[in-house]
Structure 1
Amino acid sequence: MDVGKLNAPYQITEIDPWLAPYEADIVLRMDRFKEKRRQLVDGAAFLSDFANGYLFFGFHRTKTGWVFREWLPGADEVRLMGDFNQWNRESHPLDRGENGVWEIVLPGEDSLLEGQNVKLWIRKGENWFERLPAYSTKVAMDPETSLLCTQVQDPEKEYAWTDEAFMAEAPDAPLIYEAHVGMSQDKEGIGTYREFAENVLPRVKDLGYNTIQLMAIQEHPYYGSFGYQVTNFFAAAHWYGDPEDLKYLVNTAHGMGIRVLLDVVHSHACPNVGEGLQFQDGTEDQYFLPGGQGWHPAWGTKLFNYGRTEVLHFLLSNLKYWQTQYHFDGFRFDGVTSMIYHDHGLGSAFTNYDMYFNLNTDLDALNYLQLANELIHEVNPNATTVAEDMSGMPGMCLPIEQGGIGFDYRLAMGEPDYWIKLLKDTRDEDWNVNGLWYEMTTRRPMEKVIGYCESHDQALVGDKTIIFRMADAEMYTGMMKEYHSLTMDRAIELHKMIRLYTMSLGGNGYLNFMGNEFGHPEWIDFPREGNGWSYKYCRRQWSLVDNPQLKFEWLNDFDKAMINLAKERKLLDDPNAVSLWIDPERKIITFSRGGLLFVFNFHNSYSEQQFFLHAHTTGEGSYRVILSTDEKRFGGAGLIDHDYIYQTTYTEGRGLGFDVYSPCRSAMVLERISE
């Protein structure tokens, strides 16, 4: 990055003139970023030169044996023990070097062997305790104690990657399939990396998604945490197999033309003592903020000190590690809102700009996110970063040079909340279609978002997916194709409409959680004491969508057609949709995007509606329907004629367009076929 270009005034205030009164706050944020970057890089050209902790700390082969290093500034003594020395706590002391870095050299190639269990034995004052190395790249769980233990892994061992050409390709607009490897199989148990690669990736490829977003990859001791309580940030979760198996998954995805994003958790850490970073050197503030500041009041987890250089070194090295060692194509950053406010955004509605620029804003966290985005795109210019921020912090997805934070996209978190509230609280006949347009199209200028109508949060026990919220108990009795009722017909019709509407209008990318594309009938309930440690509801029942007698096939086929339409027509490359006509009474919304015309009829009772479809944005000529939710192959009635050719005419008072027929609760997409 050319730091010389980071000078006020920044373009962010031109992009959003409402930020003008806060220019001093933005300048302060940028000045602090420049100073922090200067401290880290210290004259080097690239931030990547700083983020090499994984190449120094942990276990490494030398020409004559092994060397191990760990940063433990508060420790008084450190020893290495494990299978290699019969767990002798005395025989292998480490030497203390500068800045609290401890080191031991183990001569001989066989002094450590791949797969051996090891731990640290540390003294702080009069207390001795066990710890796992912070840079552990592989851990295993003891079946008797259910505690994690580090295993020796040769970091110099190379995987036979075959994805060089794919890694060099610039990404298309992301069509993201969010997935959890462990619950991705039909069996009542934990799925593996290789099972995912062999069984799920072909489904993702067939559906047309160009990106998968993997949850729960960083090591976590409690399976039911969904991966959001990380203990070992450099280790691939042991639950699903070996590190080599994860590399196989990523390499296989790349071979199919699918990019892979890591759901990275740098917003907080698991508080477990001994397995994670809590009291790693016997002090509470080695990695985390001291006292009450270091605890998340709602999650009960530890909070990083983003102002400490060594912590930045650890976290930035972690990002580079996952990019270089596992070839991840980018990251979805979890819990960004929690990071960037001292009160973690709890209970805040963020109704005015004052809430973004005050003493509650954590500038250290914002500067870390700027550094992280610079680093990620420096390592891979084609990388994609996504922020999970519900606060709407201005500039989150603007380039750093413009005064932004540097993310490529943010999740449009208000969209699924809107759909839930609408379906839960409002009768169909009372839907406000003007509000529906506003919710899907209102976003910060020049900042890209990922649209979605439901994610893993809506699939968990305690909440409901869209299909479950609409069909409820009839999901268990009404999914045979020959079965019809007002409840089930409505659920099938709206499931397709809501997904097409959100995908085509709600963002510059689109996200779907695994199984929701076909209306998976069960919520997610991880094995726990309350359910007898059962995996019955912690899996995806692919057998349902593979059954041609069930309606799940209809929903899956529609999702496939919708995603492939977006991909083939590069629909989401067009930054904005243009409203053509909204009729509040007849519940009609029409718009154009990417050269296509979209018609949505949300009315629940009009059996026939004919109206004038404006075509001035796409031009004069002939049009035909290329996709509709009413097609019989998707469970529709087949009332929309795909063979009929619509010819535009110019009518005084109405403009250029044509009359179109639209059944209730249906959507259609039209293309121009001639001028």
Structure 2
Amino acid sequence: MDKPVEATLITDFDVHLFKEGKHFHLYKKFGSHLMEYMGTKGVYFSVWAPNAQMVSVVGDFNNWNRETHKMKSRWDHSGIWEVFIPEAKKGSLYKYFIRSNSDYEAEKGDPFAFSWETPPDTASMVWDLENTWNDTIWMEDRKKKAKEAQPYSVYEIHLGSWKRVPDDGFRSLSYRELAEDLPAYLKEMGFTHVEFMPVMEHPFFGSWGYQITGYFAPSSRFGTPQDFMYLIDKLHQAGIGVILDWVPSHFPSDLHGIHYFDGTYLYEHADPKKGFHPDWQSYIFNYGRNEVRAFLISNALFWLDMFHADGLRVDAVASMLYLDYSRNEGEWEPNEFGGRENLEAISFLKEFNETVYKEFPDVVTIAEESTAWPMVSKPTYVGGLGFGMKWMMGWMHDTLEYFSKDPIHRRHHQNTITFSSNYAFSENFMLPLSHDEVVYGKGSILNKMPGDEWNKFANLRTLYAYMYAHPGTKLLFMGSEFGQPSEWNHDSSLEWHLTNEPLHKKVQAALKELNRLYKSEPALYEKSFSNEGFEWVDFNDDENSIISFLRKGKDPKENLMVVCNFTPVPRENYRIGVSEEGQWKEIFNSDSEEFGGSNVKNSDLIESQNIPGHHRDHSLLLTLPPMAVIFLKRL
């Protein structure tokens, strides 16, 4: 039995917690850490490889020699290997050479590395996370607002293709270059948050970050960890929250990654029925293994702790919940109760959410979950999964299907656009028009709209206005805000030149105004997750493809009336029932000339009439603009 390494960061209690699956700050202990031991500066390395026969650190400090810096296995049978190397320093490249008990050999990257070589190179890099933050005001404000209802208008972005540098081979912007442009743009457009598609290190750029090898490192394609911190800091200083896309559902088979790490299926299930993902040809974490749960939950906390992230959007939750996800008969085995639910993954997701909200009660977790799994965004103590929000995939599918139809046929599909109200408050929903809707031949959001150019843009403005009026928080993928006509291509920049074209510039102006209203009108967000915040006025006018409803906040005086005309036919003298007499004002009209519309409007003040309508004692006589949404507010 080997003696403990003298220079160590790992205590017996750390080992105990790790083996119990309850150590959620492993990034402070595992991996490579700059330290001084007995007056000598160097790097302490530690790695979990319980089925290894021999482990050594190979790197540019020892000419990648497998014999020079052999690690010691801890005396406690934890499977943890350690070594202190004076020759290593910040910036040193390294891997772990692992020989398993079955004589399998491989050079592996460090699962806990804070930095990696820029792909296609695959070595880990010794780094630190020292940083001086300047976002104190944001972080304190975040705590104060944690219990309040807040607007979430999220701009989803792929770092590598938002903007590129034409004078430098069309390369992607660096983190620091993004920090010069992105915060100002988001502030100008009125978004409250940005959501980054996965920034964690990944070998294949075309995976968009969803095939991760370096879970604890922002991709070095765009700069250092401190550069990424700088970007987040600048966003916070501009009043913009940061949500990170997080992928605990699967990981790739690259040799330098965590697959078959110590010559065994260590991080993944050994059984391919549980451990291999047929859709993505990748491997699934073993959620029933304590050390793996600790690894993943530590990773979630790492980004909230060290990078000040304000939330995590959890990718592909549905694939985690079901044992038969994308599997045919005979390709999966039921759980101990005979069901298709992945009990280990369910338990993991609950613990993940409980731990995140315990340590960071002022952040948000968001589930991308595409099925009718109950109570995804309900607390675990009532049987829920514990997420803060859930993507409303049903709303997205129905809405895009409805808007893709020629308006002349929409009267036959009224239920498609109204159905979401039947379940809108069963979860804390976020309405997503994400990257998934503008790839793989699906076309851009603009080009899903029917008709000629004018009608496409009119439909697009109507879609966005309806989206912002609908209960739930909002998410829009980059480029959609100015009606980019082509599909998203991760290898090129957004088509920013189009923002100089009138119709594109004006739909961008409409989106900007919708963000302003969303943040300034409490009725649009205060009761977004409660049926108390929504009331139908009329959903039965399928003949004219018109719907109308109220959005309600805490103060009834702040209520808004929303009327949607889903055809390009203006409607004169259209009567809408209201409960109280008084004057109303049109505060938004997606058909306004400034947004590229035909400028059909109501008078500045609309007086109610003592004529009943829609089971209410009074009514308004309105002019409904063609293919448009109007917001009305009582004075």
Length-normalised TM-score, structure 1: 0.82
CA distance in 2 between counterparts of 1:637 and 1:384 reads: 40
Match among 316, 327, 331 for residue 335 of structure 1: 316
Structure 2 equivalent of residue 26 of structure 1: none
Match among 466, 469, 472 for residue 508 of structure 1: 472
Please give the per-residue CA displacement for 1:103-132, whole angstroms capped at 9, x wherever unaligned: 10234xxx3221111111111233432111
1:464 aligns with 2:443: yes
Partner letter of residue 316 of structure 2? G
1:57 aligns with 2:11: no
The alpha carbon displacement at 1:462 in A equals 1.5
Partner letter of residue 459 of structure 1? V
Match among 463, 466, 483 for residue 498 of structure 1: 463
Partner letter of residue 657 of structure 1? S
Please give the per-residue CA displacement for 1:289-344, whole angstroms capped at 9, x wherever unaligned: 43343111111000000000000010011011111110111100000000010112
CA distance in 1 between counterparts of 2:410 and 2:134 reads: 55
1:173 aligns with 2:151: yes
1:435 aligns with 2:420: no
Taking the TM superposition and a 5 Å limit, the aligned residue runs for 1:443-462 are: 443=423, 445-452=425-432, 454-462=433-441
Match among 529, 549, 573 for residue 526 of structure 2: 573
1:318 aligns with 2:293: no
Indicate if the aligned counterparts of 1:265 and 1:334 stay in contact, CA closer than 8 A: yes
Structure 1 equivalent of residue 632 of structure 2: 670
Match among 524, 542, 545 for residue 587 of structure 1: 545
The alpha carbon displacement at 1:282 in A equals 1.1
Distance 1:445 1:662, change over 3 A: closer
1:113 aligns with 2:89: yes
Structure 1 equivalent of residue 49 of structure 2: 72
Structure 2 equivalent of residue 147 of structure 1: 121
CA distance in 2 between counterparts of 1:186 and 1:631 reads: 33
CA distance in 2 between counterparts of 1:629 and 1:297 reads: 44
The alpha carbon displacement at 1:445 in A equals 4.6
Structure 1 equivalent of residue 598 of structure 2: 637
CA distance in 2 between counterparts of 1:379 and 1:265 reads: 20
CA distance in 1 between counterparts of 2:564 and 2:325 reads: 38
Partner letter of residue 423 of structure 2? R
Q: Which moved more, 1:575-584 or 1:208-217?
A: 575-584
1:261 aligns with 2:243: yes
The alpha carbon displacement at 1:523 in A equals 1.1
CA distance in 1 between counterparts of 2:601 and 2:287 reads: 57
Structure 2 equivalent of residue 621 of structure 1: 582
Match among 467, 483, 491 for residue 519 of structure 1: 483
SS in structure 1 of the partner of residue 61 of structure 2: helix
1:183 aligns with 2:161: yes
Taking the TM superposition and a 5 Å limit, the aligned residue runs for 1:147-296 are: 147-155=121-129, 157-163=130-136, 164-170=139-145, 172-187=150-165, 188-274=170-256, 276-296=257-277
Partner letter of residue 80 of structure 1? V
Distance 1:567 1:358, change over 3 A: farther
Taking the TM superposition and a 5 Å limit, the aligned residue runs for 1:340-379 are: 340-344=321-325, 359-379=339-359
Structure 1 equivalent of residue 99 of structure 2: 123
Indicate if the aligned counterparts of 1:119 and 1:150 stay in contact, CA closer than 8 A: yes
Structure 2 equivalent of residue 559 of structure 1: 511
Please give the per-residue CA displacement for 1:114-170, whole angstroms capped at 9, x wherever unaligned: 11111111112334321111101100136xxx2311011024x23334334244242
CA distance in 2 between counterparts of 1:643 and 1:394 reads: 45
Which structure 2 segments of 5+ residues have no match? 1-12, 553-558
CA distance in 2 between counterparts of 1:293 and 1:446 reads: 30
Please give the per-residue CA displacement for 1:398-442, whole angstroms capped at 9, x wherever unaligned: 111111110111001122222333344665333446414433323
Distance 1:648 1:245, change over 3 A: farther
SS in structure 2 of the partner of residue 551 of structure 1: helix
Please give the per-residue CA displacement for 1:576-623, whole angstroms capped at 9, x wherever unaligned: 32110131111111111030001111123x34332221222xx43210
Distance 1:321 1:347, change over 3 A: same
Partner letter of residue 567 of structure 1? K
CA distance in 2 between counterparts of 1:642 and 1:496 reads: 21
CA RMSD of aligned residues (A): 2.6
CA distance in 1 between counterparts of 2:195 and 2:358 reads: 21
CA distance in 1 between counterparts of 2:253 and 2:246 reads: 17
CA distance in 2 between counterparts of 1:439 and 1:322 reads: 37
CA distance in 2 between counterparts of 1:431 and 1:358 reads: 45
Partner letter of residue 536 of structure 2? S
1:660 aligns with 2:622: yes
Identity score, percent:
27
Distance 1:102 1:215, change over 3 A: same
Structure 2 equivalent of residue 23 of structure 1: none
Q: Which moved more, 1:550-559 or 1:188-197?
A: 188-197
The alpha carbon displacement at 1:541 in A equals 2.1
Structure 1 equivalent of residue 363 of structure 2: 383
Distance 1:554 1:589, change over 3 A: same
Indicate if the aligned counterparts of 1:218 and 1:230 stay in contact, CA closer than 8 A: yes
Distance 1:259 1:346, change over 3 A: farther
1:407 aligns with 2:425: no
SS in structure 2 of the partner of residue 168 of structure 1: helix
Structure 2 equivalent of residue 602 of structure 1: 566
Q: Which moved more, 1:235-244 or 1:311-320?
A: 235-244
The alpha carbon displacement at 1:48 in A equals 11
Match among 71, 82, 103 for residue 94 of structure 1: 71
SS in structure 2 of the partner of residue 580 of structure 1: strand
Structure 2 equivalent of residue 25 of structure 1: none
Match among 79, 85, 99 for residue 62 of structure 2: 85
Structure 1 equivalent of residue 10 of structure 2: none
SS in structure 1 of the partner of residue 300 of structure 2: helix
Partner letter of residue 660 of structure 1? L
CA distance in 1 between counterparts of 2:356 and 2:514 reads: 31
CA distance in 1 between counterparts of 2:498 and 2:196 reads: 23
Q: How many residues align?
A: 587
Distance 1:497 1:178, change over 3 A: same
SS in structure 1 of the partner of residue 171 of structure 2: coil
Length-normalised TM-score, structure 2: 0.87
Indicate if the aligned counterparts of 1:434 and 1:584 stay in contact, CA closer than 8 A: yes
Structure 2 equivalent of residue 477 of structure 1: none
Q: Which moved more, 1:494-503 or 1:651-660?
A: 651-660
The alpha carbon displacement at 1:267 in A equals 0.5
Distance 1:667 1:286, change over 3 A: closer
Indicate if the aligned counterparts of 2:402 and 2:413 stay in contact, CA closer than 8 A: no
Structure 2 equivalent of residue 396 of structure 1: 376
Distance 1:466 1:126, change over 3 A: closer
The alpha carbon displacement at 1:492 in A equals 1.1
Q: Which moved more, 1:57-66 or 1:369-378?
A: 57-66
The alpha carbon displacement at 1:656 in A equals 1.6
Distance 1:225 1:642, change over 3 A: farther
Structure 1 equivalent of residue 556 of structure 2: none
CA distance in 2 between counterparts of 1:300 and 1:489 reads: 43
The alpha carbon displacement at 1:385 in A equals 0.8
